[in-house]
Structure 1
Amino acid sequence: MYRPLGALAVLALSTSALAQTAPQTAPAAELNAKLAAPLPADQAAMKAHVLFLASDAMKGREAGSPEFDIAAQYVAAQFYAAGLRPGGDAGGYLQTVPLVSYKAASKGDFVWTGRGAAQPLVFGEDYVPAANGAKAETSVSAPVVFVGYGIDAPQYGQDDYKGVDVRGKIVAYFGGSPARFGGEERAFFGSGGTKAAIAQAKGAVGVITLESPRSAKVRTFAKMAESYATPRMTWANPDGTGKVDAPGAPSLGTVSMAGAAKLFAGAKTPWTRIAKQADSDNAKFKAMPLPGTLTVATRTSFVPAASSNVVGMIPGSDPVVGKEVVVLSAHLDHIGITKPVKGDALNNGALDNAIGIASLIEEAKRFTASGQAPKRTIMFLAVTGEEKGLVGSDYFTNHPTVPLTSIVADVNLDMPILTYKFEDMVVFGAERSTIGPIVQKAVAAIGVGLSPDPMPEEGIFVRSDHFRFVQKGIPAVFLWPGQKGRARPRSPISWRTITTSRRTTCRSRSCGIRACGSSMRTTGSRARSPTVRSGRCGMRAIISGPYIRGRWHRPGRRNEPAADLRTRLHRRAACRSTGGGRLACRGHHARRSRRLDPVRRYRRGDRGDRRGDAHPVVGPARA
C-alpha cells in the first residue's frame, strides 16, 4: 500500500527545474540528472508539481507577491484539468483575499501619571509600542489594572480578573500561561489575541504586556525595540484597515521591567515581588489596580495588498448528505525571500508546503478518475497567507464560498513529512470531536496503528489552518506519521528533537496560533533529502467513513531543505514581543491569534448527525 516515491528524495533539490545553463558545471549537471530521473507516472506527477511550485522562479510564493499569484493560477489550472468545478468568486477558481500590511508608524508616546507629576516613559527603555491593525491612530488614557496572566478560564481554575472591574481601563498582564495547563490549552490561552479578546469582553479599552524575568532571558528589551516597526499582515476590511481579534481593546505595546517598576510604584504589591513570582512556572497573581493613569498615543501605517485562495469542488451524489461539504485544505504560500543564511535568502518551500499542494492536486485527480462521485461534496481548498498567521483560512471561514453551515469537516494537509515508511499515525484533534471513531476506522483500514501524541506540551492541534475551522465549530483533524517504522531515518537525534529543535523568534504583538509568524528559515530547496514515501499521497481519509478512504498528513512547520530537516524542522516559537517565554506563543503559527469564541460545536461527519460536543479548550458546545 505504501510505495516508495524515490523521486521525492530530491524534491528538496527543486531550484530552477531542469535548468539549462551554458556552460553547465558538473554540480548543475548532477542536479539536473537527479531532477530528470525517470519515474512512474503517478510519482512523476507529484514531483512535477513540486518542481514548479518550489522553483527559484516562484521566489518562495510569499502571500501578496506576483509569484504567489502565478502559483495560484497554476493550482487553478490543475484543478480544472482534474475535473473539479470552480468554487471561488464569480464562477471561477480563485477567491480574492484582500490583504493589508501594517506596522508601527512612530515610536509613540507613553505617559504615566501616578501620585505625582506626569512622567513620560522612554521608548526602548520603558516601552515598545504595538501597531494597531484596526486604526491608523490610537489614543487611550485610562487607569491600569494588573491581571496576572490575563486569563479567565474557570474550567481550569484560572480567573486572573477575580475581584477587579476593568471596564474603561487598560489591563496589564504577563505573556504566556501557567505550565500546569495542557499543551493545547497553554497555547490557546497564552495567545495575545485570546487575552485581548477576554479583556475586551470584560470592558477593557486596551492591553499592555509586561516584560518578565523569563521573557528577558529569551529576548532582551533592546532587541525588541529594534524590531518594533516590523510589518505584519492580515486580511483587510472594506475601509482598508485590518481584521484584528479585539479592536475594542487593542494591544498598546510592551512595558519593560524598568517601566513596570514605575507603573507599580505605590501599588499594594510591589513590583519586586510580582517580578519574582513571574519567574515561576505556575505563578499565582492577585489582580489589583495600579495607582495611576496611563496615556498612550500610537500611529499605524497600512499598505494594501491582495492574494487568492484557490477553490475546486466535486459535488456530492447522495440525496441526503450530498450538500454537506468536506474541505480538504493545504496552504500554498511560503515565506518568500528573507535574511540570507549562508548566502541564500530564497525560501523555496518544497516541503512547506509544495508537497502538500501536490498531494491535494493528485488526490483531486484520484477522486475524479475513480468514476464514482463521493456521497458528500468535496472541496479542495488551497489557501494563502498561512505563513502570515492563518490569514487565508481565516478569511475563508469568515467569507465562505458555500454556506458555512454546510461544511461538516476539514482535513488539513500542511507539509507532510514523508521521509520514511511509517507504520503508525499520531492523530491530532480526533478526540476533540465525534470524528474520533471515524479516524480509528480509516487508519485501521490502511493497515497502520494509532499512537498517542508524543509531545502534548506543544499544543499542535491549535497551530495550523484547520484551527480556523475549529473556531467556527467545524471538526478538523489531521494525522502525523508516527515514530514506528523500520525505515525511519537513522540519526542520533531523537524524533522529539526533530520536531521541537531550534526556537523561532516571535515578531508579532499578538502571538497566537502560529506565534509570530514563526517563519522558520528555509535555506532553499537545494539540499539532498532522504527517500520519501507517500503511500497514497493524499487526503482521502477519515472524514466520511466508507465514503472517503486513504490518509492525510500532519501539517509540518517550516523547514525545508530535507538535509537540514533534523535540525530545522518544527522549531518552537518563542514569543519575544508579548513578553512571554517559550510558552507564550507556543503555536508556531499564530501570527494572528484566535478569537475568544472559537469552538462552540462539533458535528459528526456521518449521515448528517449533529452533536454539540464541548471543546475542552474553550468550553461548552453551542446549542
Structure 2
Amino acid sequence: MKIIFINILFFSLILNAQLNSPNFDKARNSINEGNFKRHLNYLGNDLFEGRGTGTIGGNLSAKYLALEYDRIGLQPIGRENTFYQYVPIHGSRPLSGSKLEVHSKSIISLELNKDYVLNKVGDQTFIPNPIDVVFAGYGIIAPEYDYNDYYDFDVEGKIVAVLEGEPFSENENYFNGVFPTIYSSSDSKERIALSRGARGIILIPNLFEEPNFSWEKVKQLFSFEKLSLAYSVTSQLSLILNPINCDIIFSATDYSYDDILQMHKENRIQSFPLNIKMNFKGEFKRRDFLAPNIIGMIKGTDKKLADSYLIISAHYDHLGIGSSINQDSIYNGVFDNAAGVSALLEIAEAFTKLTVKPKRSIIFMLLTGEEMGLLGSKYYVDHPIVPLYKTIANINIDGVASFDEFNSVVGFGTEYSTLENFLINSASQENLNVTDVPSIFMKSESFRMSDQITFASVGIPSILVMDGIDYKNLTKEEGLEKFIYFSDNIYHTPFDDLTQQLNYDAAVQHIKLLFRLSYNIADSIEEPEWNSGSPFINARLRTIAEKK
C-alpha cells in the first residue's frame, strides 16, 4: 500500500508540473456544448443512414470527418498524404435458401432466422454430408481452473453443441467468481472447438442465466450483413439455436433441454454424444469493398519523445439500416458512437489551441467496422502507420456521459497497467474520484467489447473511461435504472437517435476529463507500462524485440 501511495504521489508531482503549460486552461475551456452538439446532430442525422460500414452513409460520414480533421489543422498521415487508411472488407449476407437439416429418427429442416441464426458466414460453413453432433458442456478448456469439457472426448470432424456461459462460482479464484471470464464468450468457445478439430459449433442459449432472453432481439441483431477483413481466414459453421428448438438436438438422448439447464444450475454439466447428424448448405450474397479509417496527428514538441505516440480512438461506424422497429429502420447510433466521435473531434481541436503542444505526438484515429468485429482497429494493428512499440498508450472513446453530471469515473482496463495512475491524477485535477467498475458493467466485459482490446492485444496499454454511478443530481439507483433502460431498450436499436434526452453538461464534463488525461499522458516523460502479470505484457515485449 505504501509503495502504491508513493507511486501515485510521484505521478501527481509530475503531472501537476506539466499543467503549467501555457494556455492549457484556455484550450480546455474551449470544449463546449455547441461544437459537440453540432457534430452529434450531423453524424446522428438520418442523412447518414446509421453510418453502416461500406454504405453510402458510412462513406459520407468518413468524408465529413476528414474535412473536419482538415479544418481543425491535423496532419494527415494516411494513404498518399490524406487522412484515409483504406481497410479491405468482405461482406456476406445469408439468404433464405440456406438449408440446415437435423438427421435423427427423421430428417428435420430448420429455417434460417426462425429456428436459428448464423453467427459466422462463408464458404467454410458448407457441410454437404451429414456429420455427427455432440454436446460438449460449456465448450471450455481452462487449465488454470483444472476444467476441461473436452477431457477424453473426441470431437474431431464433428459439430459441437455447447451451452452459453460457464460454470457458476462464487469463489473469485474459480472462474472469477460471479463475474464472467473470457471463456464465456462465443469467440472463445469457437476457437476451442476448432482447435479440437470440430467442423462447427452450435451455441445453445442459457435461459437460466438470461431469463429475459428474446429471440426477436437475436434475429434483429443478426439481420445485418456480416463483415470480415478481406484477408482473414474464412469461418467454420457457427450458429445460435432458437431455444424452442433445442429439444430437437437432445431428442436421441436421455436428456432434454430443461435437463441441461438444471445441470447448469446444479453445477454438474457433462459432455456426451447426441446421436444425431447435421448438414448445412448456405446461400450467401457477397461483396468486397474498401472502408476508411480516418487518421490525423499532432506532432510532439520534444526532439526525442516526439517519436512516440498516444492514440486517441473512437469508432465512427454503426449498424446502418436494419430490421424495422415501430416503422423505423435507421440505426442512427447517436450514443454509440456519434457521441464518442464528436468528443474526439472536440479533444483534437482543443489540442490545436495549445500554444505549446505536448512532448509526445498524438494520433487521432476514427475507426471503421467496430460493430462488425473491431475490423478497423484490427486492420490498423496489422498495418500500423507508426510502429506499435513506439505507441505508448491508447485512450478509446465509446460513448460519453449522457445521464447527469458525475462525481466519479471508472476506468476499464486500469487493473492491467499504470494508466490507472494517470487516470487517478487526471480525475483529481477535475475534482473527480476514480471508483471500481460496478458489477453491472463488469458483466458485459466492457474492456473486451470495443477497440481498446485490439490495441491491448498487441501490447499497447489501453483504457476506456466512463462516468461512474455517483451522480450530482441522480441517486445511484436512478442512474442504474437509466443505464438498464438504455441497455434493454435503446442500445443497438433505431431509438438510439437524436430524440434522446442527453445531458450536454455531463458530456462536456466527460470530454474535458479525457482532454486532461490525454494531455497528461502525451506530455509525460514517463510511459504507461503494463503491470506485472498482465495478460498483455508479453505482446509488448514481443513488439519491442521485433521493433514492430
Q: TM-score, normalised by structure 2?
A: 0.78
Mapped partners of 1:528, 1:611: distance in 2 = 40
Match of 1:371 in 2: 355
Task: Decide whether the 8 Å contact of 2:78 with 2:385 is kept in 1.
Answer: yes
- Output one character per residue of 1:62-86: Cα deviation in whole Å (capped at 9) or x when no partner: 2222222222112112212222211
| 2:520 paired with 1:532 | no
1:306/1:174 Cα in 2 relative to 1: closer, same or farther (>3 Å)?
same
- Output one character per residue of 1:262-307: Cα deviation in whole Å (capped at 9) or x when no partner: 55625xxx22387344564463322234445444433333233442
Match of 1:615 in 2: 535
Mapped partners of 1:471, 1:79: distance in 2 = 28
- Output one character per residue of 1:412-465: Cα deviation in whole Å (capped at 9) or x when no partner: 112211443322112221012232222222222322111111223332222222
Match of 2:416 among 404, 412, 432: 432
CA drift of 1:127 comes to 5.7
Mapped partners of 2:250, 2:510: distance in 1 = 59
Q: How many residues are matched? A: 502
1:503/1:78 Cα in 2 relative to 1: closer, same or farther (>3 Å)?
closer
SS in 1 for 2:166: coil
Task: Decide whether the 8 Å contact of 2:207 with 2:261 is kept in 1.
Answer: no
1:431/1:265 Cα in 2 relative to 1: closer, same or farther (>3 Å)?
same
| 2:225 paired with 1:232 | yes
Mapped partners of 2:303, 2:122: distance in 1 = 44
Match of 2:455 in 1: 469
CA drift of 1:540 comes to 2.9
Match of 2:469 among 483, 493, 500: 483
1:263/1:127 Cα in 2 relative to 1: closer, same or farther (>3 Å)?
farther
Task: Decide whether the 8 Å contact of 1:613 with 1:621 is kept in 2.
Answer: no
1:41/1:501 Cα in 2 relative to 1: closer, same or farther (>3 Å)?
closer
| 2:87 paired with 1:167 | no
Match of 1:207 in 2: 201
1:210/1:606 Cα in 2 relative to 1: closer, same or farther (>3 Å)?
same
The residue identity in structure 2 corresponding to 1:108 is K
Structure 1 residues 131-530: aligned runs within 5 Å = 132-135=120-123, 138-139=126-127, 141-180=130-169, 181-182=175-176, 186=180, 188-210=182-204, 214=208, 218=212, 230-238=223-231, 243=232, 247=234, 249-251=236-238, 254=241, 260-261=247-248, 265-266=252-253, 270-272=254-256, 275-278=259-262, 280-281=264-265, 283-291=267-275, 293-339=277-323, 344-455=328-439, 456-486=442-472, 488-489=473-474, 494-501=478-485, 519-522=492-495, 524-526=497-499, 528-530=501-503
Task: Decide whether the 8 Å contact of 2:332 with 2:497 is kept in 1.
Answer: yes
Task: Decide whether the 8 Å contact of 1:179 with 1:186 is kept in 2.
Answer: no
Task: Decide whether the 8 Å contact of 2:247 with 2:257 is kept in 1.
Answer: no
The gaps in structure 2 that reach 5 residues or longer are 1-28, 170-174, 543-548
- Output one character per residue of 1:583-614: Cα deviation in whole Å (capped at 9) or x when no partner: xxxxxxxxxxxxxxxxxxxxxx9348676633
Task: Decide whether the 8 Å contact of 1:129 with 1:298 is kept in 2.
Answer: no
Structure 1 residues 23-102: aligned runs within 5 Å = 42-102=32-92
The residue identity in structure 2 corresponding to 1:177 is E
Mapped partners of 2:218, 2:98: distance in 1 = 9
Runs of 4 or more off by more than 6 Å in structure 1?
A: 224-229, 618-623
CA drift of 1:161 comes to 1.7
Mapped partners of 2:291, 2:178: distance in 1 = 30
Task: Decide whether the 8 Å contact of 1:397 with 1:469 is kept in 2.
Answer: yes
Structure 1 residues 536-615: aligned runs within 5 Å = 537-538=511-512, 539-542=514-517, 545=520, 547-548=522-523, 606-607=526-527, 613-615=533-535
Task: Decide whether the 8 Å contact of 1:540 with 1:548 is kept in 2.
Answer: no
The residue identity in structure 2 corresponding to 1:526 is T
Structure 1 residues 7-18: aligned runs within 5 Å = none
The residue identity in structure 2 corresponding to 1:107 is S
SS in 2 for 1:484: coil
CA drift of 1:43 comes to 4.0
Mapped partners of 1:225, 1:326: distance in 2 = 37
CA drift of 1:311 comes to 0.5
- Output one character per residue of 1:458-485: Cα deviation in whole Å (capped at 9) or x when no partner: 3222222222222333221122222334
Task: Decide whether the 8 Å contact of 2:247 with 2:256 is kept in 1.
Answer: no
Give the aligned CA root-mean-square deviation in angstroms.
Answer: 3.9
Mapped partners of 1:194, 1:333: distance in 2 = 25
Question: Which is helix-richer, 1 or 2?
Answer: 2
The residue identity in structure 1 corresponding to 2:121 is G
The gaps in structure 1 that reach 5 residues or longer are 1-38, 506-516, 550-604
Mapped partners of 2:316, 2:224: distance in 1 = 21
Q: TM-score, normalised by structure 1?
A: 0.70
Mapped partners of 2:45, 2:115: distance in 1 = 42
The residue identity in structure 2 corresponding to 1:360 is L
Mapped partners of 1:528, 1:200: distance in 2 = 45
1:445/1:86 Cα in 2 relative to 1: closer, same or farther (>3 Å)?
same
SS in 2 for 1:122: strand
Mapped partners of 1:609, 1:502: distance in 2 = 35
Match of 1:568 in 2: none
SS in 2 for 1:144: strand
